[in-house]
Amino acid sequence: MAKPYDSTIGEGGETQQLGSGDTPVMTTNHGTPLSDNQNSLKAGARGPTLLEDFILREKIFHFDHERIPERIVHARGSVAHGYFECTDPIPDLSRASLFAEKGKRTEVIVRFSTVAGGAGSVDTPRDVRGFATKFYTDEGNWDLVANNIPVFFIQDAIKFPDLIHSVKMEADRGFPQAASAHDTFWDFVSLMPETLHTVVWAMSDRGIPRSYRMMEGFGIHTFKLVNAEGQEHFVKFHWRPKLGTQSLVWDESLKLQAGDNDFHRRDLWDAIAEGAFPEYEFGIQVFDAELAASLPYDVLDATKLIPEEIVPLRIIGRMVLDRNPANHFAENEQLAFLPSNVVPGVDFSDDPLLQGRLFSYLDTQKSRLGTTNFHQIPVNAPKCPYANMMRDGMMQTHVHTGRANYEPNSLAQAGEEGGPRPRPDGFRSAAQPVAGEKLRIRADTFADHYSQPRMFWKSQTENEQAHIASAITFELSKVALEHVRIRVLSHLRNVDEDLAARVAKGLAMDLPEAAAPASPPVDLDPSDALSIQKRWQATLQGRKVGVLFDEGSDKASLDNLLQAIRDAGGTPFTIAPKVGGIMLKGGEMKADGQLAGSPSWLFDAVALVLTREAAEKLAKDSAAIGFVMDAYAHLKAIGHDDNAQPLLDRAGIMPDQGVTDLAALPKAATLRYWDREPKLRDLA
């Protein structure tokens, strides 16, 4: 048997050090044994991360440069230009100029994205979504790099490479792509219970959004706002879509992965091209250190949120996206976001996940874009004047003049400029005391991993809970390692016994003993703000209705329906077996799409404007039958008249509130019919 710390050769030819029992010892790339791979080096248990942490820097540096030039995460994305408008100035809270005046507009670019899949993956898998905004302010760029889920999987940035390695394609086989339903991800989850809060969110309907236009955004971390007097407040940032938050259903999401790989990208582009500009409210949760200390969780813990019932959301602005990119590569692939890009009046907290991101994002741009001068690429360049003493480097596009490339200098003479200088009212970090030993440790206040997932579960409707339990059951059914499934179930028991029992039943497994929690969970009050269905916005604005017609359909009825949909704010899309001109009763009409290529998955509701003869003919057409069956299965409204009954009968459509006459369709189309679901499929 090898002695402790003997050097030996691993399977891949790499040199390993062996600990007791021939277990390889984890080391740095240069062979230094590690004592802790769970925590970054901080000044005190809740203090800031220290730059001297060479283990953190080496780990993230390597991770950032693993693949080029595609983004390691958030590789598949869509961008749009627009503006932010301040609607409620907050100079008492922040000296940031974009929040100083009512009506002040700031140019923005936004990138929406999936996380796990590569650039060639699809839009609609179950995944976290990115919601990153670059504000081109008159005091420099501010990058708010957000997600559509308000918490994150891990508490410390040193674990980010491990998280992403686990959810990406498995290292030996190169699959699955853009999916979390596999062994390595759930193995990581089962060993890191801090992931559970985000996992439950991702397994909810939040993981399969209907559209980027109907998706919330959250800054995740606790930041600080600092006013002109240096007073500071903690803050969390929120984006709230004016169209309301809406999701797909799981079967619909799966079909869209085949039916339209670019469903979200196309939806965003088409909306802007048609003048239906996506709009979002910008809200802040502001609180002080006293309230933070009173909470039963730590506001520096990125796996926790503060319910709006405790700290209400204050809407201070709106964002409108009104321009599509002119070049996908130049404005999407070359777009670089940095959480470290803040403006005077916005500052960082000591959140250890945020502290690591401040290093990681800057470092990865050199790998992706090939130069330290990536900030000169037009989409990344500030719109305000900018200057410093940083010169040269690969792909330098500025022609700097003068002898001095250092500061301070005294060469402002003989026609030369002295160059830029700091100014007293420039960015200043908020003053705060820092004390404590240098150590690798997780604060005790970070130890509760179950209370907030429990709160999220309790906040959902029964139908939403069934979706969560069914999603976890599905994902674990793809996990071949039984011990991983057992461990996950042991953690779920600490979240909710009913949830754990439903998942265990769906897997035909016995419930194991509950995992021993590091900190006993507590019951937090549910929050309606965490439920999509409880806050459903019944509107046709931004929604799309597929209208099926065929030869002989009544043109007047069809025209009336299309206008009624438009009047309600929706977008009608006409569908027929053929896309050329079709003779109707009262005239001719061309369809927007062919039936075989326009399944009902692409629409929020459908309508059937048919003659009896056409309905009987289409009742023998699998595309028409599937069109109606899928709309019904995806809980959408179906508008029809008596002529369409043969097709409805063939598709097995049972009457309910969502199966309605044509006149009532515009109102019915504003909802999904969740009560229909138990009749159609078994849910956990």
Catalytic site residues? 74, 147
Yes or no: say if 234 and 299 are a contact pair by the CB < 8 Å rule: yes
Q: Say if CB 590 and CB 558 are below 8 A apart.
A: no
What span, in angstroms and rounded, lies between the C-alpha atoms of 615 and 550?
Answer: 9
Structure tokens at 167: 């959810």
Coil, helix or strand for 142?
Answer: strand
**DSSP assignment, residue 332?**
I
Helix axis angle for 462-477 and 196-203, nearest 10°, is 110
CB contact at 8 A, 634 and 249? yes
Q: How far apart are CA 60 and CA 357, in angstroms?
A: 9
593: exposed, middle or buried (Cβ count in 10 Å: 0-12, 13-18, 19+): middle
Q: Tell me the C-alpha distance between 150 and 128, whole Å.
A: 10
Task: Name the phi and psi angles at 513, rounded to 5.
Answer: -65, 150
541: helix, coil or strand? coil
Structure tokens at 348: 């960082």
272's tokens: 């802007």
Residue by residue, what is the 3-state secondary structure of 467-501?
HHHHHHHHHHHCCCCHHHHHHHHHHHHHHCHHHHH
CB 74 within 8 A of CB 114: yes
Q: Which residue is associated with the tokens 């005077």?
A: 344
- How many angstroms separate the CA atoms of 161 and 664, rounded? 52
Paired strand residues for 226? 232
Q: How far apart are CA 87 and CA 319, in angstroms?
A: 10
Task: Pick left, alpha or beta for residue 340 (phi over 0 → left; psi -120 to 50 → alpha; otherwise beta).
Answer: alpha
- Cβ 405 vs Cβ 387: under 8 Å: no
Q: How far is CA 148 from the centre of its chain?
A: 4
Beta bridge partners of 605: 545, 637
How far, in Å, CA of 608 to CA of 640, rounded? 5
Amino acid (1-letter code) at residue 498? D
**CA-CA distance, 579 to 598, in Å (whole number)?**
11
Is residue 324 a contact partner of residue 78, using CB atoms and an 8 Å limit?
Answer: no
Position 19, amino acid: G
Q: Which of 656, 584, 625, 677 is nearest to 247 (CA)?
A: 677
DSSP 29: T
First to last CA, the chain: 49
Neighbours of 505 (CB within 10 A): 14
Q: Are 135 and 144 in contact (CB under 8 A)?
A: yes
d(CA 183, CA 172): 12
Query: 406 and 414 in contact (C-beta within 8 Å)?
Result: no
d(CA 38, CA 31): 18
| CB-CB contact of 2 with 19 (8 Å) | no
